[in-house]
């Protein structure tokens, strides 16, 4: 039986997945080299832009599908914490890190609690449980 909290986590999972998917897509469509240049301008290695963009793009798709929710929740949390500490904190809360903090909180929630409602991961769990009982 699906509870209201599980349905709430599903909403968080879908919104978070779409948000990261679109941010990752934007990085690649507008030129990942530009993102790498920005990373370097704030003192980070440029290659991290490729890693972050890839995690956002692939992780966003996986989050929407419900595949590796906790893993991508952890990765998204790290990315948001990095964005807050390296770029956004100096801009203050409003107009600065409030959006990143919300994404961090959503990511952390899914890392801690997961979400199996309408999730591809649930299909694997059901099959492995059936195989173990046979």
Per-residue pLDDT of the chain (134 residues; tens, 9 = 90+): 678 999 999 999 999 999 999 999 999 999 999 999 999 999 999 999 999 999 999 999 999 999 999 999 999 999 999 999 999 999 999 999 999 999 999 999 999 999 989 899 888 776 655 655 55
Cβ within 8 Å of residue 118, ≥6 positions away: 10, 66
pTM strictly above 0.75: yes
């Amino acid at each position: 039986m699906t509870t209201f909290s599980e349905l709430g986590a599903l909403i968080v999972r879908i919104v978070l997945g779409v948000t990261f998917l679109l941010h990752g897509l934007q990085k690649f469509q507008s030129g990942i080299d530009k993102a790498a240049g920005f990373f370097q301008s704030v003192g980070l290695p440029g290659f991290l832009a490729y890693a972050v963009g890839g995690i956002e793009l692939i992780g966003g798709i996986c989050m929407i599908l419900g595949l590796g929710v906790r893993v991508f929740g952890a990765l998204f949390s790290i990315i948001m914490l990095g964005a807050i500490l390296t770029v956004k904190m100096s801009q203050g809360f409003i107009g600065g890190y409030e959006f990143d903090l919300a994404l961090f909180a959503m990511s952390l929630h899914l890392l801690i609690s997961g979400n199996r409602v309408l999730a591809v991961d649930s299909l694997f769990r059901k099959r492995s449980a059936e195989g173990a009982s046979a």
